[in-house]
Amino acid sequence: MHLRSRFLILLMAGSCLLASAGQIVAAPTSTAHPPASAGSAPSSAPSKAPTPPPAATSPQQSSHDNKPSAPSAKKLTRQDRIGLLADQLAHAKTPEEAHTLEDMLETLRSAGLSPTTQLLLRRAQKDVSAEKPDNAVDDMGDAIALQPDQAILWRSRAQMRLVAGDLAGAVQDLGAALQRDPKDAQSWNLLTTVEEHRNDGQAALKAWQKMLDLNPMADKNHKRLDALRIKAFGQPT
């Protein structure tokens, strides 16, 4: 009986050992992961690229961007352009250059005339060609009534009054023309001629000298200037 008990005890102990061994064999193996280092993000979370900061603006670029735009150049008026061309005429180097500038000036001065005034001016010119200067003077009077601020109209009527023999009226009209456009060399030229017809040599000389200030190439060799000096002061001895 004692031996049997010992046999049973040994048998039970062997069964326990076998059961323990089976549990060890059947246990699933897990994949080992290295321990995460301190401060590192979990492997499952994707890393997001940082948004780059906006480009720094240099002080020069900033001041350039903030600089106010320059004001647009002022558009020249017709009178401004007449003044500029008159200054160029006073410094012309050749008679050809002066003639070109005179044509440009005459075009600009005529550009301010209305269609009705232009029609009256053309009719007056036809009257002069038809040897009807009095009618031309009347036509120019109507034109001046429409646009009294246009110096070229006063000069044109002075020309027609000269043809009509009204020298005093021509002087008055040229005074009005030069008051409105003192840099009109043609008005000073015409005044010289009118004063010559009035036999006022000194007035003619002064008018011509003024004209030469505005257009030196009109008398490059001073032939007329010398002739007017003789008329004004006589032949030098």
Convert the chain into a string of H (helix), E (strand) and C (coil).
Answer: CHHHHHHHHHHHHHHHHHHHHHHHHHCCCCCCCCCCCCCCCCCCCCCCCCCCCCCCCCHHHHHHHHCCCCCCCCCCCHHHHHHHHHHHHHCCCCHHHHHHHHHHHHHHHHCCCCHHHHHHHHHHHHHHHCCCHHHHHHHHHHHHHHCCCCHHHHHHHHHHHHHHCCHHHHHHHHHHHHHHCCCCHHHHHHHHHHHHHCCCHHHHHHHHHHHHHHCHHHHCCCHHHHHHHHHHHCCCC
Q: How far apart are CA 185 and CA 103, in angstroms?
A: 12
Length of the chain: 237
Task: Report the chain (237 residues): mean pLDDT per 10 consecutive residues.
Answer: 49 48 43 42 44 47 46 78 96 97 97 97 96 96 98 98 97 98 97 97 97 96 95 86
Q: In 14-130, at which residue ranges do the beta strands (DSSP E only) sit?
A: none
User: At the topology level of CATH, where does 113-182 sit?
Assistant: 1.25.40
pLDDT value at position 214? 98
pLDDT value at position 235? 85
pLDDT value at position 165? 96
The residue behind tokens 């321990």 is 35
Q: How far apart are CA 208 and CA 206, in angstroms?
A: 5
- Pull the structure tokens for residue 228: 């007017």
pLDDT value at position 5? 52
The domain ranges of the chain are: 113-182
pLDDT value at position 74? 76
With 0.75 as the threshold, say if the pTM is over it. Answer: no
